[in-house]
């Protein structure tokens, strides 16, 4: 309040307008984008129906490689879903103030990638029509049931986690619905009112929201860790060389965080550019989350070392055959490109401040995301091609695998589905948690901690100030330096 | 239960008469043992009402006795512990076992439940033939991971699959360290479907097969219920495969020679494949000492070999 150049009310008003603007338009480019996504989804759907009627034989999978692109994609998508937990829960619990503008997009990414990751095993089922058997005859001893329980729990949790901080924003949308929103106005009115569940911003409501958020923040972290741990168990619980590994749980969790956090950066960059949020998502945010990705990539690299160096030192027979195929056999090019190009190179780039500038960081994160996907494939497929029993007396084609057009089309449709849901979501709901960012601006001003320094700061409206002051003024400690936390 | 059986028998008879009259073909009881009948041959068959017919073997169709209930198939045969012993010193790799198995189970042509591998453990050691059925492990990795109890271990030691329950997740295929399981990737071969006819499904016969489900060697429990040997055992011309009941400590080969299981394993240094995995297979092997056949041609092993991968024997050899 000492800074008389700061107009908090104006700031908040600008923020609200910046956040709500994208929800009022559905421009030509958006229409083309959505149309293109729908084409990809339509074609994928056609291929999936083809697969349903003719069986999984229309894919490239056969008896030896009985899991392929679908299961690799399953692991990758579920991995991406760790992004929301990372950014929202871990950064929230460690009171990283800079998280505020990116929590919404991260939580959304979690929600969507869980939706589309979760359906991968169903797409991969030989008899999706018998899916009810999982409930009727479900056996708790099966790692697959652990997966289902864990992913469903995480899905429910992350849906709540996405929804809770949306409530005040929904009320805001409801109250600010203007004539500009002529398109679908009645639908939007109903939707916002419904989702605001009677939010009026009273003190007790804020109190309850905060309390619930605290509980959810703590609960969601172990659930997220359990998800990728049990995803790894569907491999690690077998005796196969390459999967029979005690490090698989943490290895998968680290891989999930590494790829998930990279995807958060991609989302940040996209929304910043497309929805003109440059004022809120700044180079500083990229620098900070770049450090997080760097730390996670280092952990992932360390686990990679454990996963490959220990068996490689011993070269036990069956494991040795697999490793020699990875190290200098048919998969060596892809394997080393993954290790050097998508793990060590990103570490090198992100270690330098220049590498954490928006441009290089986005390129690095694209490399990481693609690399993580290919790495999932390298975990699933080569192991299946190196069973204990030699591959004999089968058609020669069965002893190799590369996904065919059906698998690529269906997978592309799922990826397009992720983009579509994110796009539509961002056209209906604000992509930043308005109240959280507002709270940040307020704290920023009060505590004089640098979130982002704005030019004009003049306070005029006392009531608006009071409203924001009720948020949780004083309970949040000043931003800790990220270096300390890391 | 008794009454049910009677009723079913009646229906069977009515079916039999109808088909006999309409089709002019004769259904032979499964008991005749079609494996031993050759095309063109005239055979005498007895109809359920006691009349004797002479018919061309071409017209014979396998008669499917009403299978046991699903509950019964899941329990298994009381008091038995089935066990198989395969003598590598006798196996000459003729694959008669594979063929008999394929005929018995109407398997697709690309599928060998009983597969004869050509093995060579290392450069210096001699190659040998290695017929491999499902090991029906006592600590089965496959049944452990099944999410819906579609594959299960029975009291008689047999591991079966219920393809009416299987959801086709293929977790069991990933879990089986012996690559024993096969998946029905597409609709079953129409030829085989026609040959199976309207036989009712049972986990004990493993057919009619269904798209999107897993299948594997089942130790022919439908034959065992009739007091007969699995197809691979009775078809082996080298008497290399023994089958029997561990509880009785007796195993029998195709020639009907019954020996003591314990003695057989002890005298010939019997072992189980990859004992270190702890799966406790119910199939024992006798090492290929003093072979009764020439040394196998290792080139056989190259058939399903990857074209551009792994130099030398890597894929042809057993990876122990």
Nearest CA in chain B to A71: B169
- Among A184, A189, A209, A191, which residue's Cα sits nearest to residue A199? A209
pLDDT at site B108: 86
Ramachandran assignment for A362, one of left (phi > 0), alpha (psi -120 to 50 degrees), beta (any other): alpha
Residues of A (351-390) whose Cβ lies below 8 Å from B: 384-390
- Judging contacts by C-beta atoms under 8 Å, the chain B residues touching residue A395 are 110, 304
Higher pLDDT, B58 or A171: A171
Residue A343, min C-alpha distance to chain B (Å): 26
Q: Which residues of A39-48 are buried (b: 16+ CB within 10 A; e: fewer)?
A: ebbebbeebb
- C-beta atoms of A238 and B178 within 8 A: no
Arithmetic mean of pLDDT over chain A: 87
The C-alpha atoms of residue B261 and residue B246 are separated, in whole angstroms, by 7
The minimal CB distance from B145 to the residues A237, A243, A390 is found for A237
> A293 with A261: CB under 8 angstroms?
yes
Q: Residue B54: which H helix or E strand, with range?
A: strand B52-56
- Judging contacts by C-beta atoms under 8 Å, the chain B residues touching residue A392 are 115, 117-118, 300-301, 303-305, 315-316
- Judging contacts by C-beta atoms under 8 Å, the chain A residues touching residue B314 are 321
- Rounded mean pLDDT of A421-430? 92
User: What residue ranges define each of the domains in chain A, with the CATH number in brackets?
Assistant: 24-426 (1.20.1630.10)
Q: Indicate if the pLDDT at residue A205 is higher than 60.
A: yes
The minimal CB distance from A394 to the residues B110, B145, B147 is found for B110
> A136 with B168: CB under 8 angstroms?
no
- Rounded mean pLDDT of A17-37? 88
Residue A111, min C-alpha distance to chain B (Å): 24
What is the interface pTM, i.e. ipTM, of the complex? 0.84
- Rounded mean pLDDT of A233-238? 95
- Judging contacts by C-beta atoms under 8 Å, the chain B residues touching residue A56 are 168, 183, 185-186, 212
- Judging contacts by C-beta atoms under 8 Å, the chain B residues touching residue A238 are 141, 145, 174-175, 177
**Which pair of structure tokens corresponds to residue A9?**
């009310």
pLDDT confidence tier of residue B228, bands split at 50, 70 and 90: very high
Arithmetic mean of pLDDT over chain B: 81
- Rounded mean pLDDT of B32-48? 60
> A336 with A307: CB under 8 angstroms?
no
pLDDT at site B26: 40
The minimal CB distance from B213 to the residues A62, A126, A395 is found for A126
- Judging contacts by C-beta atoms under 8 Å, the chain A residues touching residue B141 are 238-239
The C-alpha atoms of residue A82 and residue A369 are separated, in whole angstroms, by 13
- Lowest-confidence range among A334-338, A370-374, B2-6, B185-189? B2-6
pLDDT at site B22: 36
- Judging contacts by C-beta atoms under 8 Å, the chain A residues touching residue B125 are none
pLDDT at site B21: 37
Residues B102-157: tens digit of each pLDDT: 999 999 888 899 999 999 888 888 899 999 999 999 999 999 999 999 999 999 99
Total beta-carbon pairs less than 8 A apart between chain A and chain B? 195
Q: How many CB atoms lie within 10 A of CB A475?
A: 9
The minimal CB distance from A138 to the residues B148, B214, B279 is found for B148
Half-sphere exposure of A318 (CA within 13 A, CB side): 22
The minimal CB distance from B305 to the residues A56, A144, A399 is found for A399
- Judging contacts by C-beta atoms under 8 Å, the chain A residues touching residue B318 are 389-390
Q: Indicate if the pLDDT at residue B17 is higher than 50.
A: no
State how far Cα A34 lies from the chain centre.
Answer: 21
Secondary structure (H, E, C), chain A: CCCCCECHHHHHHHHHHHHHHHHHCCCHHHHHHHHHHHHHHHHHHHHHHHHHHHCHHHCCCCCCCCCCHHHHHHHHHHHHCHHHHHHHHHHHHCCCHHHHHHHHHHHHHHHHHHHHHHCHHHHCCCCHHHCCHHHHCCCCCCHHHHHHHHHHHHHHHHHHHHHCCHHHHHHHHHHHCCHHHCCCHHHHHHHHHHHCCCCCCCHHHHHHHHHHHHHHHHHHHHHHHHHHHHHHHHHHCCCCCCCCCCCHHHHHHHHHHHHHHHHHHHHHHHHHHHCCCCCCCCHHHHHHHHHHHHHHHHHHHHHHHHHHHHHHHHCCHHHHHHHHHHHHCCCHHHHHHHHHHHHHHHHHHHHCHHHHCHHHHHHHHHHHHHHHHHHHHHHHHHHHCCCCCCCCCCCHHHHCCCCCHHHHHHHHHHHHHHHHHHHHHHHHCCCCCHHHHHHHHHHHHHHCCCCCCCCCECCCCHHHHHHHHCCCCCCCCCCCCHHHHC
- Rounded mean pLDDT of A473-480? 42
pLDDT confidence tier of residue B23, bands split at 50, 70 and 90: very low
- C-beta atoms of B169 and A399 within 8 A: no
- C-beta atoms of B309 and A54 within 8 A: no
Residue B179, min C-alpha distance to chain A (Å): 7
pLDDT > 70 in chain A, percent = 89
Q: Indicate if the pLDDT at residue B70 is higher than 60.
A: yes
- Among A322, A320, A396, A386, which residue's Cα sits nearest to residue B308? A396
pTM, rounded to two decimals: 0.84
The minimal CB distance from B319 to the residues A55, A243, A318 is found for A318
The C-alpha atoms of residue A364 and residue A352 are separated, in whole angstroms, by 12
Nearest CA in chain B to A135: B148
- C-beta atoms of B183 and A392 within 8 A: no
pLDDT at site A480: 39
pLDDT at site B267: 95
pLDDT at site A366: 96
The minimal CB distance from A238 to the residues B119, B148, B174 is found for B174
- C-beta atoms of A237 and B175 within 8 A: yes
pLDDT > 90 in chain B, percent = 59
- C-beta atoms of B304 and A398 within 8 A: yes
- Among B8, B24, B112, B7, which residue's Cα sits nearest to residue B61? B24
- Judging contacts by C-beta atoms under 8 Å, the chain A residues touching residue B149 are 137, 139
Residue B318, min C-alpha distance to chain A (Å): 6
Please tell me what DSSP assigns to residue B19. Answer: H
**Which pair of structure tokens corresponds to residue A120?**
């991968």
Residue A410, min C-alpha distance to chain B (Å): 17
The minimal CB distance from B148 to the residues A137, A395, A398 is found for A137
Q: Residues in chain A, how many?
A: 486
pLDDT confidence tier of residue A451, bands split at 50, 70 and 90: very low
Q: Indicate if the pLDDT at residue A279 is higher than 90.
A: no
State how far Cα A295 lies from the chain centre.
Answer: 17
- Give A179-183's long-range contacts (Cβ < 8 A, gap of 24+): A180/A24, A181/A23, A181/A24, A183/A26
pLDDT at site A10: 81
- C-beta atoms of B177 and A137 within 8 A: no
- Judging contacts by C-beta atoms under 8 Å, the chain A residues touching residue B175 are 237-239
pLDDT at site B60: 66
- Judging contacts by C-beta atoms under 8 Å, the chain B residues touching residue A61 are 185
The C-alpha atoms of residue B243 and residue B258 are separated, in whole angstroms, by 9
To test the contact with chain A by mutation, choose from B299, B316, B319, B320 the residue with the greatest count of A C-beta atoms within 10 A, namely B319
pLDDT at site B301: 58
User: What residue ranges define each of the domains in chain B, with the CATH number in brackets?
Assistant: 2-62 (no CATH), 70-286 (3.30.70.20)
Q: Are strands B27-28 and B61-62 parallel, antiparallel or unpaired?
A: parallel
- Judging contacts by C-beta atoms under 8 Å, the chain B residues touching residue A74 are none
Ramachandran assignment for B296, one of left (phi > 0), alpha (psi -120 to 50 degrees), beta (any other): beta
Residue A272, min C-alpha distance to chain B (Å): 41
Report in angstroms the alpha-carbon separations of A36 from A31, A40, A374, A413.
9, 6, 25, 11
Angle between helices A248-274 and A283-314 (to 10 degrees): 150
Q: Indicate if the pLDDT at residue A26 is higher than 90.
A: no
- Lowest-confidence range among A134-138, A149-153, A180-184, A289-293? A180-184
- C-beta atoms of A139 and B279 within 8 A: no
- Judging contacts by C-beta atoms under 8 Å, the chain A residues touching residue B132 are 389
- C-beta atoms of A66 and B170 within 8 A: yes
- Rounded mean pLDDT of B224-247? 94
Helix (H, G, I), strand (E, B) or coil at B70: helix
- C-beta atoms of A137 and B150 within 8 A: yes
Residues B270-300: tens digit of each pLDDT: 999 999 999 999 999 999 988 888 888 776 5
- C-beta atoms of B115 and A318 within 8 A: no
- C-beta atoms of A63 and B308 within 8 A: no
Residue A327, min C-alpha distance to chain B (Å): 12
pLDDT at site B31: 39
Q: Residues in chain B, how many?
A: 320
The C-alpha atoms of residue A43 and residue A35 are separated, in whole angstroms, by 12
> A96 with A274: CB under 8 angstroms?
no
Residues B199-220: tens digit of each pLDDT: 889 999 888 999 999 999 999 9
Residue B306, min C-alpha distance to chain A (Å): 6
pLDDT at site A79: 93
pLDDT at site A6: 63
DSSP β-bridge partners for residue B250: B245, B260
Q: Indicate if the pLDDT at residue A182 is higher than 50.
A: yes
Interface residue A392 vs chain B (CB under 8 A) = yes
């Amino acid at each position: 309040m000492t800074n008389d150049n700061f107009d908090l009310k104006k700031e908040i008003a600008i923020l609200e307008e910046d956040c709500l603007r994208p929800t009022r338009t559905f421009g030509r480019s958006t229409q083309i984008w959505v149309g293109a996504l729908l084409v990809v989804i339509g074609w994928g759907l056609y291929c999936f129906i083809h697969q349903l009627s003719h069986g999984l034989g229309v894919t490239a999978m056969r008896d030896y490689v009985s899991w392929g692109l679908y299961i690799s994609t399953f692991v990758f998508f579920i991995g991406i879903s760790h992004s929301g937990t990372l950014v929202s829960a871990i950064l929230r619990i460690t009171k990283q103030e800079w998280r505020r503008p990116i929590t919404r997009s991260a939580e959304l990414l979690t929600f969507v990638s869980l939706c589309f990751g979760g359906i991968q095993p169903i797409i991969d089922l030989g008899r999706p029509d018998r899916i009810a058997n999982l409930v009727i005859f479900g056996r708790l001893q099966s790692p697959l049931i652990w997966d289902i329980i864990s992913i469903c729990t995480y899905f429910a949790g992350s849906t709540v986690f996405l929804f809770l901080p949306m409530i005040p924003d929904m009320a805001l949308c409801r109250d600010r619905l203007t004539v500009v929103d002529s398109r679908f106005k009645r639908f939007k009115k109903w939707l916002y009112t419904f989702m605001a569940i009677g939010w009026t911003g009273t003190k007790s409501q804020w109190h309850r929201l905060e309390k619930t958020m605290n509980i959810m923040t703590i609960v969601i972290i172990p659930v997220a860790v359990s998800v990728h741990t049990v995803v790894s168990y569907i491999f690690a619980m077998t005796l196969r060389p390459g999967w029979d590994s005690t490090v698989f749980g943490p290895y998968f969790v680290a891989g999930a965080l590494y790829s998930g956090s990279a995807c958060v950066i991609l989302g940040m960059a996209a929304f910043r550019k497309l929805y003109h949020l440059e004022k809120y998502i700044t180079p500083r945010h990229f620098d900070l989350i770049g450090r997080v990705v760097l730390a996670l990539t280092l952990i992932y690299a360390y686990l990679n070392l454990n996963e490959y160096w220990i068996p490689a030192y011993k070269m036990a027979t069956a494991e040795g055959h697999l490793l020699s195929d990875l190290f200098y056999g048919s998969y060596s090019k892809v394997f080393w490109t993954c290790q050097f190009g998508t793990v060590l190179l990103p570490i090198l780039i992100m270690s330098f401040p220049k590498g954490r500038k928006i441009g290089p960081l986005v390129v690095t994160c694209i490399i990481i995301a693609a690399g993580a996907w290919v790495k999932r494939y390298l975990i699933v497929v080569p192991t299946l091609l190196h069973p204990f029993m030699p591959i004999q007396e089968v058609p020669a084609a069965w002893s190799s695998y590369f996904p065919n057009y059906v698998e690529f089309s269906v997978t592309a449709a799922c990826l397009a589905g992720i983009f579509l849901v994110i796009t539509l979501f961002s056209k209906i709901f604000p992509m930043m948690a308005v109240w959280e960012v507002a709270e940040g601006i307020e704290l920023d001003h009060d505590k004089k901690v640098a979130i982002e320094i704005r030019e004009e700061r003049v306070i005029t409206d006392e009531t608006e100030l009071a409203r924001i002051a009720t948020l949780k003024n004083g309970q949040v400690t000043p931003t800790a330096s990220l270096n300390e936390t890391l | 239960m008794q009454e049910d059986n009677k009723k079913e028998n009646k229906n069977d008879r009515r079916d039999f008469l109808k088909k006999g009259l309409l089709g002019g073909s004769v259904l032979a009881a499964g008991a005749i043992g079609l494996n031993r009948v050759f095309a063109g041959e005239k055979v005498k068959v007895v109809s359920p009402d006691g009349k004797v017919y002479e018919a061309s073997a071409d017209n014979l169709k396998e008669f499917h006795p009403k299978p046991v209930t699903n509950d019964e198939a899941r329990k298994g045969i009381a008091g038995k512990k089935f066990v198989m012993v395969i003598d590598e010193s006798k196996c000459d790799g003729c694959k008669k076992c594979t063929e008999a198995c394929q005929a018995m189970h109407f398997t697709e042509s690309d599928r060998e439940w009983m597969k004869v591998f050509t093995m060579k453990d290392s450069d210096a050691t001699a190659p040998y033939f290695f017929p491999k059925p499902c090991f029906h492990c006592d600590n089965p990795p496959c049944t452990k991971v099944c999410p819906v109890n579609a594959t299960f271990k029975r009291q008689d030691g047999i591991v079966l699959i219920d393809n009416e329950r299987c959801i086709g997740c293929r977790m069991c295929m990933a879990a089986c360290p012996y690559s024993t399981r096969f998946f029905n990737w597409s609709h079953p071969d129409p030829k085989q479907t026609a040959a199976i006819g309207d036989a009712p499904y049972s986990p004990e016969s493993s057919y009619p097969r269904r798209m999107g489900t897993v299948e594997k060697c089942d130790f022919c429990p439908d034959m065992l219920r009739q007091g007969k040997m699995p197809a691979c055992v009775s078809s082996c011309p080298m008497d290399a495969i023994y089958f029997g009941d561990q509880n009785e400590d007796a195993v029998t080969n195709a020639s009907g020679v019954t020996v003591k299981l314990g003695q057989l394993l002890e005298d010939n240094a019997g072992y189980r494949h990859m004992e270190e995995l702890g799966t406790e297979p119910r199939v024992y092997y006798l090492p290929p000492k003093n072979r009764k056949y020439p040394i196998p041609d290792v080139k056989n092993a190259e058939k399903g070999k990857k074209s551009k991968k792994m130099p030398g024997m890597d894929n042809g050899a057993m990876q122990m």
